Every structure is written in structure tokens, then in C-alpha cells.
A and B are shown apart, each in its own frame.
Chain A
């Protein structure tokens, strides 16, 4: 199972919006509504930010939103804040397993 494709990095100024794409195939992202996104700060445990494509766990700011079109899922961070500077990983169900993207470094300028 190949890893999902994410951009290596994206950046934006405080207050701006950034979108991270996550491209898979019809066998993973396109085939199931089980796409999740995790945020990870250096040396920390990953934190769930979005699940089931667009659902937010309790406590996650509504600045974080998820969507999907075809084989590509996206995570949008609106109104960037300094604490959003982190690595973000997408994950998709494949029918029998799970596959992650290689991660995207979000830099808040």
C-alpha cells in the first residue's frame, strides 16, 4: 500500500488560511469516508484534529476543517495562529488497513 501524497511544506502568515492536500486512490481516500488528520509538535504525541473526513473532536478549534473531493482530502486551517506551527499527517482506511501521508510541515511566518 503506497503512502498518501502530501506537500512537504506549506506556510502562511498569522491570520491567513492554508490548505494541506492529501492525495490517494479510489482504494483508500476515494473509497471510504475514513480520513483523519493528526497534528504533531516536535517531540510530542500526535493529536487528532479531524476524523471521518470533516468531523472535529471536542476541543479542536473550528479553524480546522476537513473535506474531500474524489481521491483527494484536504485540511484547511483558517486564521493561522502561532501554535498551528507543526507537522500534519493525513490517514485513510484502505478496506483492510490504514495508510498515512508522509506529513506536511506547516510554518507560521
Chain B
């Protein structure tokens, strides 16, 4: 069965960076793109970007360009999302999600990783 397992919760100080991992299993990793999204406490979903697992190509939301980097380690079927220069507004649950077809048709999600930015 398809599974996406994310790394554990993180607490970071303002200005620091965080790197969240998303380990995939149950399918051929390079067949489907991975999206990254986040949800601040009590707020809605926000799309951050996606990475083409077949090529490593990326497309980031305008809001995060310059601060976010999405990468792969295909040999271990893992995707990573690194966010730099953290501020308190970056406190959120970060999700990876697997696209099944174009259009953010994301039936499979990771469990979420809580990132808390606090001094």
C-alpha cells in the first residue's frame, strides 16, 4: 500500500532553517510528483510547491521562492523540503502529498510534520 512517512516535529529559532523528509513506499517513487503544503494553526491549506520525481525539476509558489528548496534522494525514495530564514509565521504543520495525475490529485499524504518557530 502507498505510504508517505514524514520526519518528526521540529522546534527552531527565528532565522534558522528546517529540513523535512518524506519517505515513500508501496509504489515506484519516480512515477509520481510530490507536492509540499502547509497549514498554520487554525488556518487553511497553503501550497508551497512540487518536485518532479522523475527529473528533480521543481516549481515553487511565488511566496516561497528564495527560501524553499525541494530535493530528492531517489535511491531511498525520499523527498525533502528545506525552508530557510524561518519566522514565527512559518509555524505550521507541513505535509508532503503524492500526485496521482496532473492537477494536485493528491490521494496520498504524509502524516504531517509540526514545525514550531519560537525564540
Contacts and interface: CB of A to CB of B under 8 A. Distances in A.
A100 B47 contact: yes
B62 A91 contact: no
Interface stretch (B11-19, B69-77, B83-91, B99-107): B99-107
Given A89-B45, A98-B47, A45 B111 contact: yes
How big is the B interface, by class?
A: 20 to 34
B2 interface: no
Interface in A72-100: 89, 91, 93, 96-100
B61 A97 contact: yes
Interface residues of A, number: 26
A89 B101 CA distance: 19
Contacts of B104: 34, 36, 51, 91, 93, 98
A3 B62 CA distance: 13
A38 B59 CA distance: 22
A35 B104 CA distance: 8
B95 interface: yes
Contacts of A61: none
B103 A93 contact: yes
A15 interface: no
Interface of B: 35, 44-47, 49, 59, 61-62, 95, 101-107, 109-112
